[in-house]
Amino acid sequence: MRIAVDAFGSDNAPLPEVEGAILAIKEDICSEIVLTGREDLLQKCLDKHFYDRKRIQIIPAAEIIRMDENPAVIIKQKKDSSLLKAVELHRDGYVDAVVSAGNTGAVMAVSMFTYGRIKNVLRPAIAIPLPTQKKPEIILDVGANVDCTPENLVQFAMLGSLYSRFFFHRENPEVALLNIGEESVKGNELSKKVYLKLSEHKDINFIGNIEGKDLLKGIADVVICDGFVGNVMLKTVEGVALAIFDMMKEQIREDWVAKIGALLSFPVYRFIKKKLDHTEYGGALLVGLNGISVISHGRANDKAIKNAIKVGVKIAESGFIQNAKEYFEELS
């Protein structure tokens, strides 16, 4: 299993990518990693570490894609970017998956342009495992499509169900629609139409609407929404988690009684922090394409990159892409 890592995608590139790749090799997550980017800088970073040098390769790429660049312009003008090089390696069969912590729009555009959509898939989506009280649930879309049709959301439910089956091994994944109320009559026109279509779909185990307050309870295996709602929801959840821990730290610093309590409750604190830590889940998968691109967080550290590599390996080994192709081809 060989994975390509866009080594100049994250905010602090290339250190997290290099160190994450080394962690993945040391933990035998995959057999080989290909880093794409500026060879001199990558080699300088690699030389600081001890690892099996036969298992990390550098493929040179001179250009770097910034977070604020237009995806459409990138495809035309940055032919020698670290991202495009990594994606082309996967298209050509040299690697089994791609990991990037770069510009989400760019990863989406370059991957779609290079791999193409699975036949009969209207739009690809960004799917991410979200930690909950019970089990991780897959949320999609979280940013690829801000305006959706009912048909788009029904396909997201299909893709999410397949992802849940192959990634989390759930036989008959339960699918919920993120809405402002549990009743079928709640929501905007899009939500009402999607509810009706999902209720009638024979291949989707639809359990109804789910409200934002229940999102982290782990009621469903898959939760679907349009990319606008999904992106706002995801960033709100991340922000709330960070704010809670910051407030706890501030209170502990100011109160000596709280310091004693913090010492006694440290195992619980550590467990909750790990459960809510985005670096534990690695990254989001672009679903609906003829290839595997895993998008990690722009603020990714070495652990996040390592776990994103793990996601790529698991998807490549699972047969998810081939089964998705076969499933959607039967819709013709």
What pLDDT tens digit does each residue of the chain (332 aa) get?
999 999 999 989 899 999 999 999 999 999 999 999 999 999 999 999 988 999 999 999 998 888 777 777 777 788 889 999 999 999 999 999 999 998 888 899 999 999 999 999 999 999 998 888 888 899 999 988 889 999 999 999 999 999 999 988 998 999 999 999 988 888 899 999 999 999 999 999 999 999 988 988 889 999 999 999 998 988 888 787 778 777 877 777 777 666 676 666 666 566 666 666 666 667 899 999 999 999 998 888 999 999 999 999 999 999 999 999 999 988 86
Domain 122-283 = CATH 3.40.718.10: yes
Helix (H) or strand (E) holding 58: strand 56-60
Domain boundaries, the chain: 1-116+288-319, 122-283
SS3 for 284? strand
Kindly report, residue by residue over 112-148, the tens digit of the pLDDT.
Answer: 999 999 999 999 999 998 888 888 899 999 988 889 9
Angle between helices 266-276 and 256-264 (to 10 degrees): 70
* CA atoms of 304 and 169, how far apart (whole Å): 22
User: Tokens 């030389």 — which residue?
Assistant: 47
In this chain, the answer to whether the domains covering 1-116+288-319 and 122-283 adopt an identical fold is yes
CATH fold group of domain 1-116+288-319: Isopropylmalate Dehydrogenase (3.40.718)
Mark 19-42 as b/e (b = at least 16 C-beta within 10 Å): bbbbbbbeeebbebbbbbbbeebb
The half-sphere exposure of 10 on its side-chain side, counting CA atoms within 13 A, is: 24
SS3 for 36? strand
Helix (H), strand (E) counts: the chain: 12, 11
* CA atoms of 250 and 255, how far apart (whole Å): 9
* CA atoms of 30 and 33, how far apart (whole Å): 7
